[in-house]
Amino acid sequence: PQRGPPIAVASGWIAPFQRALPALGVAGFAAWLLCTPFRVDVPALPQSRAVAEVQADAALKARGVTPGPGWRKSAAPRLAPGDPGQGPWHEFVWREAGPDAYAKLLGHTLAPPLWEVRYALFDGPVAERAEEWRVFVNGDGSPRFVHHALPEGRAGAKPDREAALALAEGAIRDRLGQDPRALTPIGAEERQRPARTDWSFFFADPRVDVGKDAQARVAVGVAGDEVVSVGRLVHVPEAWQRALREREGRLTIVKLVLGAAFALTALAALVTAVLSWTRGDCDRRAMTAVIAIAFAVTIAQVANHWPKIEMGFATAEPVAAQASIAMGGMLLAGLVASLLYGLTAGVGAWGAQRQPLRPLAGPLPAWAAGVAALLLTAGAGAVVEALTPRTVPLWPSYAFEEAWMPALAAALEGARVLTLSGVALFLLHWLSRVTGDFTRRRWLALAVLVLASCAAGFAGGDDAVVAIIAGSAQGLLAAVVVYALLRFDPCTVPAFLAAGIVLQAIETAARKGTPAGWAAFAVLLAAAALSAWAVTRYLGRARASAPAA
């Protein structure tokens, strides 16, 4: 296409929309502030990994246990959302007993955000490596739950039911601070090991109301003459669990349909990108830079999230073998993703450089117009989510705290603007080609943007219903923004993406409400702003020097 001289912005409603962006951005930001739930339904987890490990060491020492140098220690936040064991308990109480009852039970029957600290052996006889300690630390530093896993062949006592029950009742009194006589025994399970007898006891707590037909329980594990676990749980009615599985099954079908449609669209776009590259319609400098940056980010992420990865290692296998497999698999996946990022960035940058010049109407420069457009879409999405009933309690994200260095994790999250900008520019270039510069088949652009918005909601862990409703609304508005703004000036794109990442980071920091959370936000803000500036500067310079085609 000929670049030619600058052309006027399209007529009709587009120019008034661009002129109104300052007011629309302010209105969107105000709506986002008013409708976004910054307060969560759970207490914060203020400790760092190092502090949690010290507190876990103290909890074991109080039980007379001091792991030696052969024990490997790892830690990660433990949250109920996404946990197949605890997640349904929290969801049931929230739905059936109500938010007020949920708030009262959180920290007692229901676990708040915790640090899980694991002590494991990876050297020595394989049978002995089955021994593990896991300490779950509350936000105030107190241990909530300590679990000791023993090898099946470990010798021990063989208590009868009455002796083991006495140990269990003593543990309830000492560790939970609760009178076992106020509980109702409902079951006991005996397991014969080669050289000892293990018992599991379950008690109902009739004083705790967790919702219709559900039951608050206390579970105690006894191995020989040692109490290895004492914890609280919620017994959810089978009928409710069955209804939940059926509902999730229906939503899974919707997810599969959306995922298949999105995958087919992505495949078609990828084929277009490969064909463009083979024809030389690609900015090779941008492609090479993005591949290098994306792969470097992958290496940094693997190293920074190693404590979380190590938590999943099995003690029966050598650490070196598991580390090699895990590292090799993640680096290979990262290399493939980096090549795809680079390919789309190269083609997208090439298309942006040869796009006809279309000055924007209104007083805002391109980057500010992109920010205002994002604020508008974010505000509309927050309003839609506020009108959608919440079916699960709201928990903060502790993705940065999982990393070895949370500040580095925040910086890498902000740097995603570099790779996402390439994908977005390629998407705009591809949509422009298949729609004849948005003059035909506009429904295709609308469908792609709605699918992308819904997929982003699912990937972010949103409730399925909220992800579909809010994603559809945001996709519709995103189509308006693409048609009326982003396609006119590619320099609006990096700021648009950076503003979205920054708003999400504000939500995360506000929901945690900790100094460390706001410090991570400051790092992310700087990284996102710097990345958006770098991409915008590159596009401006490359566009000015691009040859007419």
Question: What are the distances in angstroms from CA 454 to CA 259, 317, 381, 480, 536?
Answer: 10, 40, 12, 16, 27
**What CA–CA distance (Å, rounded) separates 126 from 314?**
11
Cβ atoms of 6 and 477 within 8 Å: the answer is: no
Q: What share of the chain is helix, strand, coil (3-state, %, to 5)?
A: 60, 10, 30
**What CA–CA distance (Å, rounded) separates 397 from 81?**
10
Cβ atoms of 122 and 319 within 8 Å: the answer is: yes
**pTM, rounded to two decimals:** 0.86
**What CA–CA distance (Å, rounded) separates 346 from 467?**
31
Question: What are the distances in angstroms from CA 169 to CA 154, 173, 223?
Answer: 24, 6, 14
Task: Name residues whose C-beta falls within 8 Å of residue 423's C-beta, 6 or more positions apart in sequence.
Answer: 341, 344, 345, 348
> Hunting for tokens 């940065």 — which residue is that?
400
**What CA–CA distance (Å, rounded) separates 45 from 113?**
6
Burial track 4-39 (b if 16+ CB lie within 10 A, e otherwise): eeeeebbeeebbebbbbbeebbebbbebbeebbeee
What does the DSSP assignment read for 303-369?
Answer: HHTHHHHHHT--TTS-HHHHHHHHHHHHHHHHHHHHHHHHHHHHHHHHHHHTSPP-PPSSS--HHHH
Neighbours of 204 (CB within 10 A): 16
Question: What are the distances in angstroms from CA 455 to CA 39, 247, 451, 508?
Answer: 25, 19, 6, 20
Residue pLDDT tens, the chain, 549 long: 334 334 344 457 888 999 999 999 999 999 999 999 888 888 889 889 999 999 999 999 998 999 888 899 999 999 988 788 888 999 999 989 999 999 999 999 999 999 999 999 988 888 888 899 999 999 989 999 999 999 999 999 999 999 999 999 999 999 999 999 999 999 999 999 999 999 999 999 999 999 888 999 999 999 999 999 999 999 999 998 888 888 777 667 766 776 676 677 677 778 888 888 888 889 999 999 999 999 999 999 999 999 889 898 998 888 888 999 999 999 999 999 999 999 999 999 998 988 877 788 889 999 999 999 999 999 988 888 888 777 788 898 899 999 999 999 999 999 999 999 999 999 888 888 878 777 777 667 777 777 677 666 655 555 666 666 767 777 788 888 888 898 889 999 999 999 999 999 999 999 998 999 999 999 999 999 999 999 999 998 877 766 544
Cβ atoms of 331 and 302 within 8 Å: the answer is: yes
Dump pLDDT digits (tens) for 370-414: 999 999 999 988 888 888 777 788 898 899 999 999 999 999 999
Dump pLDDT digits (tens) for 59-102: 999 989 998 888 999 999 999 887 888 889 999 999 899 999 99
Task: Name residues whose C-beta falls within 8 Å of residue 49's C-beta, 6 or more positions apart in sequence.
Answer: 75, 76, 115, 307, 401, 404
What DSSP designation does 110 have? B
Question: What are the distances in angstroms from CA 268 to CA 282, 346, 486?
Answer: 17, 17, 22
